[in-house]
A and B are shown apart, each in its own frame.
Chain A
Amino acid sequence: MNFRAAILAMVITGTVVAQEPTFEAGVDRNPAGVGEQLTLSFTLANAGVGGGKNLRLPDLSRFHILAGPNQSSSMQFINGAVASSITYSYVLQPKEVGKVTIGSASIEAGGKKLESQPVNLEIVRASSAPKQQAQTPEEVAGKLADKILLKVLLDRTRVLQGEQINVTFKIYTLVSIVDFTLKKAPNYTGFWVEDLDAPKGQTVEVVDGKRYRTGVIKKVALFPTQSGTLEISPMELVTVVQVQSPRSLDPFDAFFRDPFGRNVNYEVRSDPVRIKVDPLPGDAPADFKGAVGQFAMSTSIDKKATRTNEPVGIKVAVSGTGNIKLLEAPAVEFPLDFEQYSPKVSDNISRSGDRIAGSKTFEFLVLPRYPGLKVIKPITFSYFDLGKREYVRLRSPQLEVNVEQGAATPGPLIAGTTREDVRLLSEDIRFIKIGMPSFTRAGDRLWTSAAFLGLLFLPVVALLGTFAYVRRQRANAQDEVGYRNRRAIGVAQKGLKQAEYLLKEKGAKGTPSTAQRTRFYSEVSRALWKYLGDKLNIPQAEFSVERAIAVLTGRSIDNGLLRALKLLLETCDMARFAPTSMDIGAMQKTYDEAKRIIVELERTLK
Chain B
Amino acid sequence: MTLKNFILALLLCGGALDAAAQSPELLYQQANGLYQAGKIAEARDLYESIASNGYESGDLLYNLGNAHYRLGDLGRAILNFERARRIMPADDDLRHNLQLANLRVVDRIEPTPRLFLWDWWDGIKGAFSAQSALWFSFALFVLLASALMTMMLIRAYVVRKSALIAGVVTALLLAFSLVLTFQKIADDGRRDEAVVVASITTIKNSPDGHSTDAFVLHAGVKVRVIDSVNDWIQIRLADGKVGWMERGAAETI
- On A, residues with C-beta under 8 Å from B are 416-417, 421, 424-425, 427-447, 452, 455-456, 459-460, 462-463, 466-467, 470
Residues of B within 8 A of A467 (CB): 152
Q: Quick one: closest A residue to B56, CB to CB?
A: A442
Q: Which residues of A contact B165 (CB under 8 A)?
A: none
Min Cβ gap A464→B in Å is 10
| Pair A470/B138 contact, Cβ less than 8 Å | no
Task: Report the 4 A-B pairs with minimum CB-CB distance, sorted nearest first.
Answer: A437-B59, A459-B145, A437-B57, A430-B93
CA distance A438 to B131 in the complex (A): 14
**Chain B hits for A443, CB < 8 A:** 54, 56
Q: A433-B59, A459-B141 are in contact. List 13 more A-B contacts (CB 8 A).
A: A424-B100, A429-B66, A430-B93, A432-B32, A433-B62, A433-B63, A436-B29, A437-B57, A439-B55, A442-B54, A459-B142, A462-B149, A466-B148
Q: Which positions 73-117 of chain B face chain A at CB distance < 8 Å?
A: 93, 96-97, 99-101, 103-104, 108
Q: Do B55 and A424 have beta carbons less than 8 Å apart?
A: no
Chain B nearest CB from A286 CB (Å) reads: 14
Which A residues are in CB contact (< 8 Å) with B25? 436, 439
**B residues within 8 A CB of A440?**
55-57
Question: Is the C-beta of B153 less than 8 angstroms from some C-beta in chain A?
Answer: yes
Q: Are B138 and A456 in contact (CB under 8 A)?
A: yes
CA distance A432 to B145 in the complex (A): 42
Interface residue B253 (Cβ < 8 Å from any Cβ of A): no
How far is A226 from B156 in the complex, measured between Cα atoms in Å? 96
Q: Are B185 and A430 in contact (CB under 8 A)?
A: no
Contact with A along B136-150 (1 / 0, CB 8 A): 001001100110110
Interface residues of B in 24-83 (CB under 8 A from A): 24-25, 28-29, 32, 35-36, 50-51, 54-60, 62-63, 66-67, 69-70
Residues in A with CB closer than 8 Å to B152 are: 466-467, 470
* Residue in A430, A445, A462, A467 whose Cβ sees the most chain B Cβ within 10 Å: A430
Point out which of A429, A434, A446, A462 has the most chain B C-beta atoms below 10 A from its C-beta: A429
Contacts of A433 in B (CB 8 A): 59, 62-63, 93
A432 touching B63, Cβ below 8 Å: yes
Q: Which B residues are CB-close (under 8 A) to A439?
A: 24-25, 28, 50, 55-57, 60
Tell me the complex Cα distance, A439–B145, Å.
32
24 residue pairs of the A-B complex, CB under 8 angstroms, read A417-B103, A427-B100, A429-B97, A430-B96, A432-B32, A432-B62, A432-B66, A433-B59, A433-B63, A436-B28, A436-B29, A437-B57, A439-B28, A439-B56, A442-B54, A442-B56, A443-B54, A445-B130, A446-B130, A456-B141, A459-B141, A459-B146, A463-B148, A466-B153
Q: Is the CB of B108 within 8 A of A416?
A: yes
> In the complex, A422 Cα to B234 Cα: how many Å?
33
List residues of chain A with CB within 8 A of the CB of B28: 436-437, 439
Chain B positions 158-189 with a Cβ under 8 Å from a chain A Cβ:
185, 188
Q: Measured between C-beta atoms, what is the minimum distance from A272 to chain B in Å?
A: 39
B129's closest neighbor in chain A, by CB? A446
Name the residue of chain B whose CB is nearest to the CB of A444.
B56
B134 at the interface (CB under 8 A from A): yes
- How many of chain B's residues have a CB under 8 angstroms from any CB in A? 46
Bound form: Cα–Cα A444–B55 in Å: 10
Residues of B within 8 A of A (CB): 24-25, 28-29, 32, 35-36, 50-51, 54-60, 62-63, 66-67, 69-70, 93, 96-97, 99-101, 103-104, 108, 130-131, 134-135, 138, 141-142, 145-146, 148-149, 152-153, 185, 188
Task: Determine which of A430, A446, A460 lies in contact with B134 in the assembled complex, contact meaning CB atoms within 8 Å.
Answer: A446
Residues on B with beta carbons closer than 8 Å to the beta carbon of A460: 145
Q: Bound complex: CA of A425 vs CA of B54, how far in Å?
A: 34
Which B residues lie within 8 Å of A436 (CB)? Answer: 25, 28-29
Cross-chain contact B55 with A447 (CB below 8 angstroms): no
Q: Quick one: closest A residue to B182, CB to CB? A: A447
Asked if A435 meets B97 with Cβ closer than 8 Å, knowing A447-B134, A462-B149, A470-B152, the reply is no
Q: Are A442 and B55 in contact (CB under 8 A)?
A: yes
CB A198 to nearest CB in B, in angstroms, measures 49
The 8 Å CB contact of B130, one of A432, A434, A447, A466, is A447
Contact A441 B188 (CB under 8 A): no
Could you say which residues of chain B place their CB within 8 Å of the CB of A425? 100, 103-104
Query: Complex Cα distance A407/B32, Å?
Result: 44
**Chain B residues, CB < 8 A from A444:** 56
Tell me which residues across on chain A come within 8 A of B134, comparing CB atoms: 446-447, 452
B93 proximity list for chain A (CB < 8 A): 430-431, 433
Measured between beta carbons, the chain A residues less than 8 angstroms from B104 are 425
Query: Within the complex, what minimum Cβ distance (angstroms) separates A317 from chain B?
Result: 31
Give the residues in chain B near A427, CB-CB below 8 Å: 100
CA distance A446 to B56 in the complex (A): 13
Question: CA of A440 to CA of B97 in the docked complex: distance in angstroms?
Answer: 23
CB-based nearest A residue for B91: A433
With the chains together, A417 CA to B146 CA distance in Å?
Answer: 51
| Docked complex Cα distance between A444 and B134 (Å) | 14
A429 vs B54: C-alpha distance when bound (angstroms): 27
Nearest CB on A from B27, distance (A): 10
The distance in angstroms between the C-alpha atoms of A596 and B181, with both chains bound, is 69
- Return A462 CB to nearest CB of chain B, in Å: 6
Contacts of B35 in A (CB 8 A): 432
Contact B54 A466 (CB under 8 A): no
Tell me, in angstroms, the Cα distance from A424 to B98 when the chains sit together. Answer: 11
In the bound complex, do residue B103 and residue A424 qualify as a contact, i.e. CB atoms below 8 Å apart? yes
* B100/A445 in contact, CB under 8 A: no
Q: Report yes or no: B55 in contact with A429, Cβ–Cβ below 8 A.
A: no
Given A460-B145, A463-B149: A446 touches B57 (CB 8 Å cut-off)? no
In the complex, the answer to whether A429 meets B103 with C-beta atoms within 8 Å is: no
**By the criterion CB–CB under 8 Å, are B100 and A429 in contact?**
yes
Considering residues A441, A446, A452, A460, which has the most beta carbons from chain B within 10 angstroms of its beta carbon? A446
**Complex Cα–Cα for A276 and B220 (A):** 44
State the Cβ distance, A413 to closest chain B Cβ, in Å.
13
A576 to B133, CA, bound (A): 78
In the complex, the answer to whether A455 meets B24 with C-beta atoms within 8 Å is: no
Say whether B58 contacts A437, CB under 8 Å: yes
C-alpha gap A465/B93 in the complex (Å):
46
Across the interface, which residues of A come within 8 angstroms of B103, CB to CB?
Answer: 417, 421, 424-425
A463 near B56: Cβ-Cβ < 8 Å: no
CA distance A509 to B74 in the complex (A): 116
B188 contacts across to A, CB distance below 8 A = 445
The residue of chain A having its C-beta at the shortest distance from the C-beta of B43 within the complex is: A432
A429 touches B96 (CB 8 A): yes
Closest residue on chain A to residue B31 by CB atoms: A432
Cα A356 to Cα B242 with chains together (Å): 52
Cα separation A447 to B132 with both chains bound (whole Å): 11
Contacting A424 at CB < 8 Å: which of B50, B51, B99? B99
* Nearest A residue (CB) for B110: A416
Q: Which residues of B contact A417 (CB under 8 A)?
A: 103
CA separation between A455 and B69, bound complex, in Å? 41
Cβ of A434: which chain B residues have Cβ within 8 Å of it?
32
Beyond A429-B66, A434-B32, whether A446 also contacts B100 by CB under 8 A is: no
CB distance from A216 to the nearest CB of B (A): 51
Q: How far is the CB of B216 from chain A (nearest CB, A)?
A: 17
Q: Identify which of B55, B97, B135, B141 contacts A430 (C-beta below 8 A).
A: B97
Cα separation A391 to B36 with both chains bound (whole Å): 37
A446 x B141 contact (CB < 8 A): no
Is the CB–CB distance between B153 and A441 below 8 Å? no
A456 to B188, CA, bound (A): 21
